[in-house]
Structure 1
Amino acid sequence: MSQTSVLVLVGSLRAASVNRQLAEAAVHAAPEGVSVSLYEGLGDVPFYNEDIDVPGSVPAAAQSLRDAVAAADALLLVTPEYNGTITAVLKNAIDWASRPYGSGAVKGKPVAIVSASISSNAAAWAHGDTVKAVGVAGGTVVEAAHARFGGIGERFGAAHPREDAEALTQLGATLHELVAAAGQRVDA
């Protein structure tokens, strides 16, 4: 069996973000035969604008994102909640990956969403908006693979999520479901 590749897009640009730490923990929770990598550079991708999305002159950072999404077998999106919704950086990444319309890099790609916030609602609104955006963009949302973390300030305030056995178990289960969906997609 070949290695399954999962690309992780983190909706927070802050270096010490707990959402980024959850993404890093997902790398450690990866099952055998699964390569999980964090995409670096979302902060360099310009806001989506059809005027600059022209074949042959797509901005390099946007093309790099598209290429990485296209090369992955599946996507794991990790989102905090900003003002009750998805972050602009993650929405922008989805927008770039969804184009050209009908054949973007995200089309048909299995996608799982992990959301986390300091509130007990575990970024439920951002999670729902991310599910909606991915679905409209053409991704295959893998509901069974989702994970949500609430109260992250208290839960992960003193330790990295990779030191939390329950978090690693949840992330491992998320990846297992996502990889299973990627296998079903490839076999279909």
Structure 2
Amino acid sequence: MDEMPALRRDLLLPPDAARLEPTARATHRPRVLLLYGSLRERSYSRLLSEEAARLLTMMGAEVRMFDPRDLPLTNSVPPDHPKVRELRELSLWSEAQVWCSPELHGAITGVIKNQIDWIPLEIGAVRPTQGRVLAVMQVSGGSQSFNAVNTLRLLGRWMRMVVIPNQSSVAKAYEQFDAAGRMLPSPYYDRVVDVMEELLRFTWLLRDRADYLVDRYSERKATAEVQLDRL
């Protein structure tokens, strides 16, 4: 059992409880980015995201929402395109994100997927999604479903984000908002409140510890090998 020929023991870091206690807790407001998945004039994913943004702001977060209009298809333009640059800078700025998509043909829309596809796993040495907290929501035109949120969870994990346990799925979304675009009182609204509360709790809990929590043996090994090659 003591023989581990494949392991670089000098790069193995067993769990260190002291590292989970931040030395200087950040005091600024949690920074949350919201992405939504429809370009319709009355977009229910946008309306739901706006309702979530109001709740987050009321609970003390600094909130920004990306407008996906005029964002080109992934890889159709260079990454210095203004909308691409805006999206990536917002992702880097954020400590948490909310992704909201309609369910279309049993899945997420191309609008939300295009936004996610434009955010790479890394930009140089910086990872614009790794360690960030994520909440997922969906709206449906018919009965309640979870296909879109399940796909968003998969994408969030792929992007190395911390996806919170709770989620929101709003059925018959056209019945859940008034003429001014405000969400009506309902169990669906209550669930949105639950999700935003949970998102901020996880954000406060993790943001000062994110660098340690996502510090990976494989990446330390790759860095060490690169440094050795340079000698």
Same fold (TM over 0.5): yes
SS at match of 1:22: helix
Deviations 1:61-96 (A, max 9, x none): 111100011111210111101111111111111111
Q: Could you say which residue in structure 2 is the equivalent of 1:108?
A: 131
Identity score, percent: 24
Q: Could you say which residue in structure 2 is the equivalent of 1:37?
A: 64
**Cα pair 1:3 1:34 within 8 Å, conserved:** yes
TM-score, normalization by structure 2: 0.70
Q: Could you say which residue in structure 2 is the equivalent of 1:177?
A: 198
Deviates more, 1:87-96 or 1:101-110: 101-110
Cα gap change, 1:138 to 1:51, in 2 (>3 Å): farther
SS at match of 2:31: strand
Deviations 1:142-183 (A, max 9, x none): 123x11111223333667343425444322221111111112
Cα gap change, 1:51 to 1:23, in 2 (>3 Å): closer
Instruction: Please report how far the alpha carbon of residue 107 of structure 1 lies from its aligned counterpart in structure 2 after TM superposition.
Output: 1.7
Q: Tell me which of the two structures has the higher relative contact order, counting C-alpha pairs closer than 8 angstroms and 6 or more residues apart.
A: 1
Q: Could you say which residue in structure 1 is the equivalent of 2:113?
A: 91
SS at match of 1:77: strand
Instruction: Please report how far the alpha carbon of residue 50 of structure 1 lies from its aligned counterpart in structure 2 after TM superposition.
Output: 8.5
Query: Could you tell me how far apart the structure 2 residues matched to 1:166 and 1:16 are?
Result: 22
Count the aligned residue pairs. Answer: 181
SS at match of 1:162: coil
**Cα pair 1:98 1:107 within 8 Å, conserved:** no
Query: Could you tell me how far apart the structure 1 residues matched to 2:77 and 2:118 are?
Result: 13
Deviations 1:90-130 (A, max 9, x none): 111111123437844112211100111012133x1111111
Instruction: Please report how far the alpha carbon of residue 9 of structure 1 lies from its aligned counterpart in structure 2 after TM superposition.
Output: 0.4
TM-score, normalization by structure 1: 0.84
Cα gap change, 1:125 to 1:165, in 2 (>3 Å): closer
Q: Could you say which residue in structure 2 is the equivalent of 1:7?
A: 33
SS at match of 2:141: coil
Do structure 1's residue 28 and structure 2's residue 54 form an aligned pair? Answer: yes
SS at match of 1:44: coil
Q: Could you say which residue in structure 1 is the equivalent of 2:185?
A: 164
Gap regions ≥5 residues in structure 1: none
Write the letter of the residue equivalent to 2:86. Answer: S
Which of the two has higher C-alpha Rg? 2
Do structure 1's residue 151 and structure 2's residue 182 form an aligned pair? Answer: no
